[in-house]
Amino acid sequence: MSEANARAIWQDFCCRFHVAQDAVPLFNADEQGRVLTRLIGRGEIQRSVLTRSLEMDALIRAQTHRLTLDWSSGRSRLDGLIYCMGLKQADDFVPLYIGKAETTGKRNGNLSANLTRIATDTSKFARWGDNYAYHIGDLSACVLPGHPEGKLTGKYQQWAQALFVDSPSSAPQLRRPVYFWAKAWDRSDVGVWSELGSTRLTFLEYLLIGVASIAYPGLLNREGVPRLS
């Protein structure tokens, strides 16, 4: 598949699901692009984390509320959350990272821990939580000073380099505005290839990553990216 073909497929998906229009700022940043931080934890484990925007928090809560309602009703039409971090360029949404948070956990069809207590608890927050092993927590470890060296990972150091002017920094500044889009994915929704018809969430994630990695070489995903010979 050529880059031009892959980009056309990606843009068609974004158009059908209003990705660029519905995307909101990922971070709470000032006019100069400096991201606000806040302290979490107590005592020796107190640390600074990057602050999500109020719009991003609201989007996560609205979409995960749809997931929890669907799960509690027993209908199970919604597989989970598909999300994308990216940039807005004219009418195009340039993806930087694509991921998912499934509705059910690994055991007995229970509601995933990533989606519980979303209204008050941001430790997991549909994979975008403040804790380590979650996107904001691990990115904060690489962007902000004061985190244990063992919490710095190659994946999020790559994120930090792509998103921020310098790191670590106590006044982290974005290279450019970063946006976030998310949707509660209905298993009847048609995915990135309309010829395939309705697409389940897990398959959708890999299809989107595969297409986006060809169309936009700056994609930060590591899994699901086609290997080049």
- For position 81, what pLDDT does the model report? 98
Give per-residue pLDDT as tens, 167-223: 999 999 999 999 999 999 999 999 998 888 999 999 999 999 999 999 998 999 988
Torsion of CA 213, 114, 129, 101, to 10 degrees: 10
Q: Which amino acid is at 166?
A: D
- For position 172, what pLDDT does the model report? 97
Q: Minimal CA–CA distance to 27: which of 17, 38, 16? A: 38
Q: Where are the domains of the chain?
A: 3-122+173-215
Model's pTM, two decimal places? Answer: 0.94
In the block, residue with structure tokens 């690489």: 142
Computed over every residue of the chain, the mean pLDDT equals 94
Give per-residue pLDDT as tens, 33-84: 999 999 998 877 889 999 999 999 999 999 999 999 999 999 889 999 999 9
Do the beta carbons of residue 211 and residue 9 sit within 8 Å? yes
Average pLDDT over residues 104-129: 91
Phi, psi of 40 (to 5 degrees): -130, 165
| % of the chain with per-residue pLDDT over 70 | 97
Token pair listed for 107: 């055991």
First-to-last C-alpha distance (Å) of the chain: 14
How many Cα atoms are found within 13 Å in the side-chain-facing hemisphere of 33?
11
pLDDT at residue 229 is higher than 50: no
pLDDT at residue 228 is higher than 70: no
